[in-house]
A and B are shown apart, each in its own frame.
Chain A
Amino acid sequence: MDPCTRRAFMKGGALSALGIGLGGMPRFLLRAAAAQGTAVRRKTLIAVFQRGAVDGLSMVVPHGDPDYYSARGAIAIARPASGQPETTVDLDGFFGLHPALSPLKPLWDTRRLAIVHACGSPDITRSHFDAQDYMESGTPGVKSTADGWLARGLQATPRASGAPFRAVAMGPQLPRVLRGEAGAVAMGSIAEFDVKGEGGASMTGAVDARRGFESMYEQGVRDLLYGTGKETFEAVKMLKAAAPQRLAPANGAQYPRGRFGDSLKQIAQLIRADIGVEVAFADVGGWDTHAGQGNERGQLANRLGDFAQGLAALERDLGDRMDDVVVLTMSEFGRTVRENGNRGTDHGHATAMLVLGGPVRGGAVYGRWPGLRRDQLFEGRDLAVTTDFRALFAEVALRHLGVAPTAPLFPGFTVKTSGFPGVLV
């Protein structure tokens, strides 16, 4: 039996034991409704994957490192200069934010934003595909791992309710990091997440179609297709009851236009609808800046602006809920320290990752800085990794999501609290 089948089977069994059937209100819905007033709020992790390998040296600029400006010419981000908007936004006298990330500066100032620099994978691959795969499976160098580390984390902290929205990914595909026995929902958008027959979802005809499809996919949990189908209809019912789309962005939050902003906006809606979201995932591409990446302005600056405005809007929208939320950003590797021949950068090694939220010990850059002198570089060309991404991810999983230290989060990697970067309270 493949893992997904096993997962769906076990889950199906658990649900039928709870008496959830076709007729009437599923019990988990009633329980979820009842829980809204009383239960303690769950912790939520929002993981954001910057696919394509973001240039960490432009995102979080080591302006105090003398070798930064000699390695980079046209694409260097100008030294901080107070009063000048298009320069590095200084953080601590050594590091600074790309000016397009200035929407995140207030979070740094209020100690809700931490940065882990020179973070990455112990594996040396410079393949986007493999490196993303390793960062999502949590097993650098091992391709046969069937599931993702977040799925394993959720599986290790079971919830009796079997709530379908424990893990949700915005987008047309379920990311590798959430594949596994814990189950997760992927959706392009909340609005499209229903069966829609003639005349829209509210017509009786549509109800029949939905019931028909639901019954077909309920006929035993034989494989991925059936298992997913079954989970899908549980999720549809729950979403209809919760109607998250009615929740307009709060506190004047303004999301940037485009897919990334839409994803974050809908993640906030799902969290605010109290349907038990523990892990939400969004990804954003466009970081593979081999040519013409720009400096304070240009291609990368535009991507970073969108990225920062989205995160800042999310933080604002969630308001007090951010006390229980951690946002973790990641990218498969960084980029070459030296600018290439095309005012761009090629595939490198370490990059910078952001951690933001209420539980974060913000206002600090974590991790040992390996330096940018040629002899300090990995293979003579790339920023060396001084923080294994698994140490950071493990800290978030254990301290924030409450995953047990014994859980098989990262097979082959010993999780030691002493090895944590220390980004969380």
Chain B
Amino acid sequence: MPPQEAVQVYVELTGFATTASRRELADYVTALEDAGAAGVSVSDHLFGTSDGVPRSESVQPVCEPMTTLAAVAALSDRLGVQTVVANTAWQHPALLLRQFAQLAVLAGGERVTAGLGAGWSTEEFDAIGMGMPPFRPRMDRLEEVLALAGALFVDGSVTVNGIYVSAQDLPLSPRPETRPRILVGGGSDRILRMAGRYADILDLHGDPQHGKVAGATMAQARVGDARRRALTTVEELAERARLVGAAAVEAGRMPEDVAVSTQIIYAAFGDSSRVRQAERELCESWAGIPEQELDRSAYLLFGEPAQMAAALRERQQAYGLSRITIMAESGIELAPPDPLRFCREVVPLL
């Protein structure tokens, strides 16, 4: 009987890569490999902003994802590289998909996860003069993008005439031996259905029953997302994952064809007093909710490394969790997230 594969631990790299020189990135890649990380993950934003401050004063630079992943793929023989997720709204998706194809040539397709998204920040759309379409057309377009990506990577060429995306005899070029995995991120019913139909991996967000994720600014949207994640329990995510499996079956696939990944926003190590302090800070500074126990949140881990390993095994059983991305910034002051420590202490137990 083959043992179940251990949960893969990816580490969020966006903040670090924003200012890292080649040498700094090389050292960090080595440290991640030594610590047992399975890969690195980057998000895709034009910039970051904070609330209540004019953009000219609050803009935070962020890294460009595809260049960053190419560098990591070249510096490491082993680490996987993923976007969670690349914004496909700003260009013809073929241009982005061939960047992933080139990464797959360079690193091997099994190391590359093409996380594809629709964009959600009006500030970014506005900044490049595009204006952000409403939710539904963004989702409709993403569905066309996913269909195109699947056809292109699997069949090697594609002809489609969609409402948003068209291609005529578009060949896959370059042509990697193994195609990249396709990842979709989100928590809405619509995204779950799309993942069931098209994705190899779903990066599962919080349960929509815990409030809206929307707002005029990045900061407002992040508060909604954090609240949702803080309140979403392991049991609730198991329910959400069942919808994905059902959607996969409906599309003629198997439920296990769609792997599940989630972010781990924060792993609070230590004894119960440290853990409770972290919990208080997470309620206040991250989730913006009244103080409460968060130990059933599917996006947090608490306690000793063995308890974290047990919690991940529980999630693996409950909703097929196969990959996590350890975030490197949580907004809490007590102790910043420590992805290297997490890898060193928890990965050997998985």
Do the two chains bind? no
